Amino acid sequence: MTPRKRLMGVGAAALAASLVLSACGGGTGDDGGSSDAGAPITVGNTEPQNPLIPAMTNETGGGIIVTNLFAGLVYYDENGAVQNEVAESIESDDNVTWDITLQDGWKFSDGTPVTAESFAKAWDWGAQLDNATNLSYFYEPIEGFSYDENTSIIDEGGIEVVSDTEFTVHLKQAESDFPIRLGYAAFFPLPEVFFDDPDAFGESPVGNGMYKLSEWDHDTVVSVVPNEEYIGKREVQNSGVDFVIYTDEDSQYNDLLAGNLDIIKNVPASAFATFEDDLGDRAVNQPAAVTQVINVPEYVEDFQGEAGLMRRKAISMAIDRDGITETVYNGARTPAKDFTNPVINGWSDSIPGNEVLEYNPDEAKKLWDEAEDMDPVGDDFTLYIASNADSDHQSWIDPACNTIRQALGIECEFDAYPTFAEFLDDRDSRKIKGLFRGGWQADYPALSNFLGPIYGTGAGSNDMDYSSKAFDEKLKEGNAAPTIDEANVLYQQAQEILFQDMPGIPLWYYNTTAGYADTVENVSFGWDSDPILYPVTKAE
Amino acid sequence: MLWYIGRRLLQVIPVFIGATLLVYGMVFLRPGDPVAALGGERGLPEAVQEAIRAQFHLNEPFFVQYLYFLKGIFTWDLGPDFTGQPVTETIANAFPVTFELAVMAIVIETVFGIGFGLIAGLRKGKVFDSTVLVWSLLLIALPTFVLGFVAQIFLGVKLGWLPVTAGRDPNFESLLMPAMVLAGTSLAYILRLTRTSVAETITADHVRTARAKGLSRGQVTQRHVLRNSLIPVVTFIGADLGNLMAGSIVTEGIFNINGVGGTLFQSIVRGENVTVVTITTILVLVYIAANLIVDLLYAVLDPRIRYA
């Protein structure tokens, strides 16, 4: 659910521990309001890396649990389209001031009502600097938010509670996709009981979602059962879900094959070639909202100026994306056509300028040589591609280097950092000596999510120090557009600017490679690569 | 004897201080900032990172951090790790299952290793001996993860005889396969040690004397051959207990067991220094205890050895 799955696609690691034999799941049928009796659905998962507080949850292991325990103003359906959940309406005339009206009758699983206050206070808590929440940047657009001092966005006038079912949000500037963001964990409501003791709440959260927590046996299993107070459209069809914790994707896959596990979210790389045969039509291979790029730091001299730009394009055209996605990933990656992602509404495969993403070794060599004539880097030049080596990146960097070597006749090397933390050290202190790996997983299904946070001037993840006035302007225009469709046109124009400047070299889109056993039915996977759990039933 | 044990236990104090200081120093010097890595690709805002560093005393100088750690160890309250879980709880959860696994592995390797080794040694050069030698060589040559995956796929997935993983329900049945895999290599070593040792003792003078006295074959084997052959084997098993507890990372990973090896590995990757140092320290203590027991066993096996 997040942009920072640290070991993207390799499955984040979980802590170990626990001898405690878990009682076999929590789901005794009588707990479930609308459910059939029966054994709970078992899903392979990783240990949540944070307390189960929405504003703290920034990784996938906790993400899938939190999104099932809480209901936000809106939710994302199977196609990533936004549907109202607790919200009756979300309206704005200028994309700056948003009037939000809630439906009547929503309650948390402890019986207390979900009011405008529940949202306002939850966001305010998440936004306070003293609470150091992992998702704090989501509240940054709201009036009164600050990274310099501890502020309350309620006191500063960012959120005004009008009545029990109505509140108003004031943003610092126009954000046309603000309603799309509201389905993300950062914008979930919290009950009163949370504010008494946040630490205790993180261990046993009380939400208003489809499920409620019945047991969290650390590093072993997280069990949830249907929440009978839930009144939304997504009616639970099973007796509950057990998220079984694994540290190794291979063992999880073997458990699925042996029939001990119903659903896995990630097929291990070792099974990419075989899983579609092993699982038949129960294998899932669909686009995911993750895009892999190689970023070009502006501070590396070889890539500056006109010659630098030609080199960027030459390298992009020298990479055989089709070949690598086929041979290395067996089709579990899709060659990129742009900087965003095909899962997102408004995506296009025909943005002017995207022909630099086609494999074209002859043209690439020509461009490189022209750049050499203009401003030579010399014959002993080595192109470095930096990444952490503690997850599986060598497997694509080496072949990418090979195609670059062959096409351009230059040396190319994987600049390997032993751990992610060491990679970050150099990346954040601007000491990378060549190109570096970047990956982005969408928080919410909007084109702008792939553009602003990465390529905007001074943006949090703009580790290249790319800065383009024209791009920033287009983005701003898009943010102020009256409708999402109109905004998307402007965002695509912003992408044209990126193709002219090439601050990054898009490589491919990830696929969701997952699967389920013949013990369950009605399984599908959402835009965020997580299984949609409420309609799943046990096979008879 | 008691004086000897007391003296050995006193040695634990400098070893404890040395080990914790050394390990703490090493993890402290590791490059990379674990707090920066908490936010993944996007990273956390600097202000948030600062707040987290302050919470975990990561801004303090080395010795202050070390003193916080010592205080935590002695009050057995090491505070939470980055996930908010108390460190002591994580460790307390990890040790029992690993201990259980290690004990099962030790029993398997001891029973089968000594048993087969004894028979092979007594029948040196015969068919049984040669067969066992070839098999043990194979076990030593096979990396644990190969053995683990092969066993998991055949015994677990294809044949369905044993549970594929043991994560949710680590009981005797589900731990049997991991214990066998874990015992594999050591079993082969114990077997070979016993065999060589037995084959050598058999030709010793005191065994010939025992036979000449008219003792039965069984009595000779039990009292005079086996007992005298066990000293190198016991040394090996003692050292192996420590290895099994610390070195089961691969096996624990394959079978999804939430034990010490996995916890240690994850803590190193995530930069959870306090957890790393505490587990390492406990492992050092386990080694010391195992060594002491081995030394005491020498005296039991060989009456000529006495401690004072």
The ipTM, to two decimals, is 0.82
- pTM higher than 0.95: no
Alpha-carbon distance of B25 to A484, in angstroms, equals 54
Q: Verify whether the Cβ–Cβ distance B43 to A14 is below 8 Å.
A: no
With beta carbons less than 8 A apart as the criterion, state whether B246 and B261 touch: yes
Give the burial class of A170: count Cβ atoms within 10 A of its Cβ; 0-12 exposed, 13-18 middle, 19 or more buried. middle
Identify which of B9, B22, B21 has the alpha carbon closest to the alpha carbon of residue B288.
B9
More confident residue, B243 or A319: A319
Of A420, A449, A455, A510, which to mutate for an interface test with B (greatest number of B Cβ within 10 Å)?
Answer: A420
DSSP bridge partners of A412: A383
Q: List the single residue in B170, B255, B266 with the smallest CB-CB distance to A13.
A: B266
Give the model confidence (pLDDT) of B261-282 as tens digits.
888 888 888 888 889 999 988 8
Q: List the single residue in B37, B52, B253 with the smallest CB-CB distance to A420.
A: B37
Nearest chain A residue to B267, by CA: A15
Q: Verify whether the Cβ–Cβ distance B32 to A250 is below 8 Å.
A: no
Identify which of A313, A300, A308 has the alpha carbon closest to the alpha carbon of residue A375.
A308
CA–CA distance from A209 to each of A40, A46, A66, A72, A533 (Å)? Answer: 17, 21, 9, 8, 12
Give me the phi and psi of A283, to 5 degrees please: -85, 140
* DSSP three-state, residue A366: helix
Q: List the single residue in A248, A255, A460 with the smallest CB-CB distance to B42.
A: A460
Q: Is A481 left (phi over 0), alpha (psi -120 to 50) or beta?
A: beta
Q: Verify whether the Cβ–Cβ distance B48 to A421 is below 8 Å.
A: no
Banded pLDDT at A12 (limits 50, 70, 90): very low
More confident residue, B261 or A281: A281
Q: Verify whether the Cβ–Cβ distance A19 to B100 is below 8 Å.
A: yes
pLDDT at B245: 77
pLDDT at A37: 53
Average pLDDT of the residues in A173-187: 93
Q: List the single residue in B40, B156, B165 with the smallest CB-CB distance to A3.
A: B40
pLDDT at A490: 95
Q: pLDDT above 70 covers what percent of chain B?
A: 99
Beta strand pairing status for A411-417 and A382-388?
A: parallel
Chain A contacts of B255, Cβ < 8 Å? 251
* pLDDT at A531 > cutoff 90: yes
Distance from CA of A233 to the nearest CA of B (A): 33
pLDDT at A33: 39
With beta carbons less than 8 A apart as the criterion, state whether A539 and A521 touch: yes
Q: Verify whether the Cβ–Cβ distance A16 to B94 is below 8 Å.
A: yes
Q: Verify whether the Cβ–Cβ distance A254 to B94 is below 8 Å.
A: no
Of A4, A18, A42, A203, which to mutate for an interface test with B (greatest number of B Cβ within 10 Å)?
Answer: A18
Identify which of B79, B62, B73, B72 has the alpha carbon closest to the alpha carbon of residue B27.
B62
HEC readout, chain B: CHHHHHHHHHCHHHHHHHHHHHHHHHHHHCCCCHHHHCCCCCCCCHHHHHHHHHHCCCCCCHHHHHHHHHHHHHHCCCCECCCCCEHHHHHHHHHHHHHHHHHHHHHHHHHHHHHHHHHHHHCCCCHHHHHHHHHHHHHHHCCHHHHHHHHHHHHHHHCCCCCCCCCCCCCHHHHHHHHHHHHHHHHHHHHHHHHHHHHHHHCCHHHHHHHHHCCCHHHHHHHHHHHHHHHHHHHHHHHHHHHHHHCCHHHHHHCCCCCHHHHHHHHHHHCCHHHHHHHHHHHHHHHHHHHHHHHHHHHHHCCCCCCC
* pLDDT at A313 > cutoff 90: yes
pLDDT at B55: 84
Alpha-carbon distance of B9 to B23, in angstroms, equals 21
Banded pLDDT at A18 (limits 50, 70, 90): very low
Give the model confidence (pLDDT) of A222-271 as tens digits.
999 999 999 999 999 999 999 999 988 899 999 999 989 999 999 998 89
Q: Verify whether the Cβ–Cβ distance A132 to B51 is below 8 Å.
A: yes
Lowest-pLDDT choice from A30-39, A499-508, B198-207: A30-39
DSSP bridge partners of A413: A384
* pLDDT at B224 > cutoff 90: no
Q: Verify whether the Cβ–Cβ distance B263 to A428 is below 8 Å.
A: no
Alpha-carbon distance of B298 to B294, in angstroms, equals 6
* pLDDT at A26 > cutoff 60: no
Q: How many CB atoms lie within 10 A of CB A173?
A: 11
Q: Verify whether the Cβ–Cβ distance B165 to A246 is below 8 Å.
A: yes
Nearest chain A residue to B255, by CA: A251
Q: What's the token pair of residue A111?
A: 């019986």
Q: Verify whether the Cβ–Cβ distance A422 to B253 is below 8 Å.
A: no
Q: Kind and range of the H or E element at A251?
A: helix A249-257
Distance from CA of A52 to the nearest CA of B (A): 10
Q: Kind and range of the H or E element at A386?
A: strand A382-388
Average pLDDT of the residues in B104-117: 94
Alpha-carbon distance of A58 to A51, in angstroms, equals 11
Q: Is A211 left (phi over 0), alpha (psi -120 to 50) or beta?
A: beta
Alpha-carbon distance of A310 to A302, in angstroms, equals 10
Give me the phi and psi of B75, to 5 degrees please: -95, 0
Four-point Cα dihedral A194, A198, A201, A203, nearest 10:
170
Distance from CA of A105 to the nearest CA of B (A): 34
Chain B contacts of A202, Cβ < 8 Å? 84
Alpha-carbon distance of A358 to A361, in angstroms, equals 9
Distance from CA of A478 to the nearest CA of B (A): 23
Give me the phi and psi of A62, to 5 degrees please: -85, -25
Nearest chain B residue to A220, by CA: B168
A445 Cβ neighbours under 8 A, 6+ residues apart? A76, A80, A81, A82, A180, A289, A343, A344, A345, A527
pLDDT at B59: 85
Which residues 174-233 of B are in CB contact (within 8 Å) with A? Answer: none
Of B35, B162, B164, which to mutate for an interface test with A (greatest number of A Cβ within 10 Å)?
Answer: B164
DSSP bridge partners of A520: A538
Average pLDDT of the residues in A121-143: 93
The segment with the largest mean pLDDT, out of A187-191, B50-54, B78-82, B119-123, is A187-191
Nearest chain B residue to A199, by CA: B84
Nearest chain A residue to B272, by CA: A15
* pLDDT at A34 > cutoff 80: no
Banded pLDDT at B40 (limits 50, 70, 90): confident
* pLDDT at A4 > cutoff 70: no
CA–CA distance from A337 to each of A309, A312, A351, A407, A422 (Å)? Answer: 19, 16, 8, 20, 31
- In degrees, rounded to 5, the angle at the alpha carbon of residue B42 between the alpha carbons of residues B38 and B44 is 50
Banded pLDDT at A90 (limits 50, 70, 90): very high
A32 Cβ neighbours under 8 A, 6+ residues apart? A225, A226, A228, A236, A238, A239, A240
Q: pLDDT above 90 covers what percent of chain B?
A: 20
Alpha-carbon distance of A270 to A265, in angstroms, equals 15
Length of chain B: 308
Alpha-carbon distance of A219 to B262, in angstroms, equals 11
Q: pLDDT above 90 covers what percent of chain A?
A: 76
Identify which of B72, B67, B75, B2 has the alpha carbon closest to the alpha carbon of residue B28.
B67
Lowest-pLDDT choice from A188-197, A426-435, B70-79: B70-79
pLDDT at B308: 63
Chain B contacts of A59, Cβ < 8 Å? 40
Lowest-pLDDT choice from A306-320, A443-457, B218-232: B218-232
Identify which of A284, A227, A246, A282 has the alpha carbon closest to the alpha carbon of residue A520.
A282
Q: Verify whether the Cβ–Cβ distance B97 to A245 is below 8 Å.
A: no
Give the model confidence (pLDDT) of B241-253 as tens digits.
878 876 678 888 8
Half-sphere exposure of A483 toward its Cβ, with a 13 Å CA cutoff? 5
Chain B contacts of A50, Cβ < 8 Å? 83-84
* pLDDT at B283 > cutoff 90: no
Which residues 10-69 of B are in CB contact (within 8 Å) with A? Answer: 31-34, 36-48, 51-52, 55
Identify which of A56, A459, A493, A516 has the alpha carbon closest to the alpha carbon of residue A265.
A516
Beta strand pairing status for A531-532 and A524-525?
A: antiparallel
Contacts 24+ apart (CB under 8 A), B135-143: B135/B188, B136/B187, B136/B188, B136/B191, B136/B192, B137/B188, B139/B184, B139/B185, B139/B187, B139/B188, B140/B185, B140/B188, B140/B189, B142/B184, B142/B185
Average pLDDT of the residues in B118-144: 91
pLDDT at B198: 92
Q: Verify whether the Cβ–Cβ distance A425 to B31 is below 8 Å.
A: yes
CA–CA distance from B188 to each of B8, B90, B138, B180, B195 (Å)? Answer: 31, 33, 9, 12, 11
Distance from CA of B84 to the nearest CA of A (A): 6
Q: What's the token pair of residue A42?
A: 């078992």
Nearest chain A residue to B88, by CA: A17
Give the model confidence (pLDDT) of A440-483 as tens digits.
888 899 999 999 989 999 888 899 999 999 999 999 999 989 88
* pLDDT at B188 > cutoff 60: yes
Give me the phi and psi of A512, to 5 degrees please: -80, 110
Distance from CA of A171 to the nearest CA of B (A): 20
Distance from CA of A149 to the nearest CA of B (A): 9
